[in-house]
Amino acid sequence: MRTARRLSIVAMGALLGLGLVGTAQASTSVSPQTREDTLSAMHGEAFAYASYNAYAQEAARTGIDALAKLFRKTAHTERYDHFAAEARLIHFVRGNADNLRTSIAGETREATVIYPYFAYQAEQDRCEPAAKLFRELAADEAVHAKRFRRALYAITHPHSGVVVPVGEYFRPKPIFASLPACRGRTRENLLATIRGEAFANASYTSYAEKARQTGQPRLARLWENTASQELGEHFAEAAELYGLVRDNKANLLKSMKGELHEATVMYPTYAQRAEQAGDDEAADLFFEIAVDEAHHACDFLLASLEIVVPSTPSDHAGMRS
Ligand SMILES: [Fe+2]
Ligand SMILES: [Fe+2]
Ligand SMILES: [Fe+2]
Ligand SMILES: [Fe+2]
């Protein structure tokens, strides 16, 4: 009954366009399945944030400012409402040293296993631009791991004289509409790359907030600068080879499909599993986010109709923003 009631609330919320996320409190602990589902959802949210900002660039470039605004606004919700609430739920951000240890492990794996393997695979698939990019990413991730190791030493040995490195800020590269440059496994690997880079960006910007709150401004800058490279360079370059951005209509349709899946399948499934595991706060959060995703799907549907049949001659003025 409870589940049926919640689902009807989701349906009503979708109709009314309610956005309720941000009200759920963090629980002390959740079941392993709920944690796994939450991490999976966070990957989706981080990827949506990065993708929608890329789609916003295409909308702005083609002069549809209202659509650019809609993509940017939705991107903000994915990152600063959904991702942030899910991160709080599972205490994703821990102490500075633990955040560094987690990131060192991830960067080292990318530098020594994942990207070298992707480069090898791209050579097998005869996609040299991807092979070159994966080799460059492996080298960059090795630098990230090295800086994080030094930062960890500096904060755990405060009297050593070692200072936290800050790295350098990367101005975001523009992402242009493109067709896929590679086929087969390499195309799948490029998708895994952009999802991973988007997640790294969202994670590191979250870690930066923690570092700043705990009086570590140099560490905050290191996280922010590294995050700027993950998104502004790594995500951008892999996205172009993957063919992430197409024309506005295709970008909208793909986004609407993703939102519908999240609203009607993914989040309701996660919510039901969380409820069965006794993770009520997680279940509430997932149901609330499902409502938001239904709202996003509606917004994108309206926006795509505006592109096909503009309601007024003036620059898609009827589009929600
Ligand atoms: Fe979302
Ligand atoms: Fe990295
Ligand atoms: Fe990266
Ligand atoms: Fe969404």
The letter for the amino acid at 220 is: A
pLDDT of 57: 98
Question: Percent of the chain at pLDDT above 70?
Answer: 87
Query: Is the pLDDT assigned to residue 19 strictly greater than 70?
Result: no
CB 200 within 8 A of CB 145: no
Among 15-19, 78-82, 219-223, 238-242, where is mean pLDDT lowest? 15-19
pLDDT of 315: 47
CB 30 within 8 A of CB 211: no
Please give all residues whose CB falls under 5 A of ion ligand 3, grouped by chain where several chains appear.
197, 230, 234
Residues 277-293 have a mean pLDDT of: 98
Distance CA 280, CA 266 (A): 17
Expressed in angstroms and rounded, the spacing between residue 77 Cα and the centre of ligand 4 is 7
Expressed in angstroms and rounded, the spacing between residue 135 Cα and the centre of ligand 2 is 13
pTM of the model: 0.88
Query: Is the pLDDT assigned to residue 4 strictly greater than 90?
Result: no
DSSP string, 14-36: HHHT---TT-PPPPS---HHHHH
Which helix (H) or strand (E) segment is 166 a member of?
none
Expressed in angstroms and rounded, the spacing between residue 258 Cα and the centre of ligand 2 is 26
Q: CB atoms < 10 A from the CB of 127, how many? A: 24
Q: Give the ligand at the shortest distance from the Cα of 255.
A: 4
Residue-wise pLDDT tens digits, 253-278: 999 999 999 999 999 999 999 999 99
- Alpha-carbon Rg for the chain, nearest whole angstrom, is 21
Residues 88-117 have a mean pLDDT of: 98
Expressed in angstroms and rounded, the spacing between residue 222 Cα and the centre of ligand 4 is 29
CB 178 within 8 A of CB 240: yes
pLDDT of 308: 73
**For the chain, which domains are there?**
1-92+247-321 (1.20.1260.10), 94-246 (1.20.1260.10)
Token pair recorded at residue 72? 């940017």
Expressed in angstroms and rounded, the spacing between residue 50 Cα and the centre of ligand 2 is 16
Question: Percent of the chain at pLDDT above 90?
Answer: 86
Distance CA 169, CA 177 (A): 25
Residues 161-187 have a mean pLDDT of: 96
Residue-wise pLDDT tens digits, 27-51: 458 999 999 999 999 999 999 999 9
